[in-house]
Amino acid sequence: MRILMLLTLLNAASVHAGAPAAPEYLNVQAVAWDLAWKPATQGDWDARVVKEVASAVQNGADVILFPEGFSKERPLDGVLAAVKEAAGTDRLVVLGNAPYSQPGWDHVVLRAYILSGSSWQTMDKLDPTPAERDRKPPVKPGMQLPLFRFRGGIVAALPAYSIEKPEIAVSLKRRALQLLLVSAPADDAAGAARVARCAAARAVELGAAVVVASPSSAASSLHLPAQAGFDLGAPAPGKGGFRVPWKKLLDLREGAGTEARPFLEPPPRFQVEI
């Protein structure tokens, strides 16, 4: 049995005694990426990544989320320093995964890089798809799901296949997070529908905002809790990305009331019988 470890990684700015009050909104930029684009050199590709980050910052993004597999299996470690410089301070950046291996390994992992505060963290894909497991060499699942403190709340990042797994949702429910960032690959209609439906369900179950970044901007989406005071439709992105009602999400767990809030309920005890 695989045991998933969840880690809380504290951003020093987030826990400092003098940290500013939580903002009313966060802007989350889901970066669109043309997978058919063929750069002439690695340098051209690196420059495009940095340009996307710089543009998002200029437009007011607080969180920048790239889709899964946008690198087309190019290594990501060479662009990290330039992306960090372009992102500036106090932003979250998620670079969707790419194959990673070390000498002596008989497998690869699909490693995402997440900029939190002033440092990069890594996350290996928790749930490789059947096709990824059958590759040569095979993709091995990751074992850790890092959590990030950001602007007074808790954020997690997942590849799309993991959001389809209820076991992940149960683990995250215990951590009371406010934002779930999902890097999605280019997928067929059925795959895109699974991700969209599960993202909406996770927003309800976790009492959190869920942002899905797909290579196609038309497929990226924001899902909010189905609670009083939240937009119950399908919010569209603005210039700085999706506008996430951050303070409302933080306040959602405070105070008493009669409105159903499933994310606050303890797991029920029951027996399944046939």
Query: Of 112-121, 191-200, 233-242, which gets the smallest average pLDDT?
Result: 233-242
pLDDT tens per residue across span 154-172: 999 999 999 999 898 889 9
Give, as one character, the DSSP assignment of residue 40. Answer: S
Q: Label residue 35 exposed, middle or buried (CB < 10 Å: 0-12, 13-18, 19+).
A: middle
Q: Are 215 and 67 in contact (CB under 8 A)?
A: yes
Query: Of 54-58, 155-159, 190-194, 255-259, which gets the smallest average pLDDT?
Result: 255-259
Predicted pLDDT of residue 12: 34
Q: How far apart are CA 199 and CA 211, in angstroms?
A: 8
Q: How far apart are CA 136 and CA 182, in angstroms?
A: 26
Binned at pLDDT 50, 70 and 90, residue 29 comes out as: very high
The percent of residues in the chain predicted with pLDDT above 70, rounded, is: 92
Q: Which amino acid is at 28?
A: V
Predicted pLDDT of residue 7: 59
Q: How far apart are CA 198 and CA 75, in angstroms?
A: 29
Predicted pLDDT of residue 13: 37
In sequence order, what DSSP letters do the residues of 132-182 get, joined into one string?
A: HHTSSSPBPPP-EEEEEEETTEEEEEEEHHHHT-HHHHHHHHTTT-SEEEE
CB atoms closer than 10 angstroms to residue 105: 11
Nearest to 95 by CA among 104, 105, 74, 107: 74
Instruction: Examine the pLDDT at 16 and tell me if it is beyond 50.
Output: no
Q: Are 26 and 151 in contact (CB under 8 A)?
A: yes
Query: Of 16-25, 29-38, 127-136, which gets the smallest average pLDDT?
Result: 16-25
Instruction: Examine the pLDDT at 1 and tell me if it is beyond 70.
Output: no
Q: pLDDT averaged over the chain?
A: 89
pLDDT tens per residue across span 122-155: 999 999 999 999 999 999 999 999 999 999 999 9
Q: Are 7 and 144 in contact (CB under 8 A)?
A: yes
Q: Are 252 and 227 in contact (CB under 8 A)?
A: yes
Average pLDDT over residues 204-227: 93
Q: How far apart are CA 258 and CA 67, in angstroms?
A: 38
Nearest to 70 by CA among 88, 48, 41: 48
The label of the residue with tokens 């106090």 reads 90
Predicted pLDDT of residue 238: 81
Q: Are 143 and 109 in contact (CB under 8 A)?
A: no
For the full predicted model, state whether its pTM sits above 0.85: yes
In the chain, the domains with their CATH numbers are 5-254 (3.60.110.10)
Instruction: Examine the pLDDT at 53 and tell me if it is beyond 50.
Output: yes
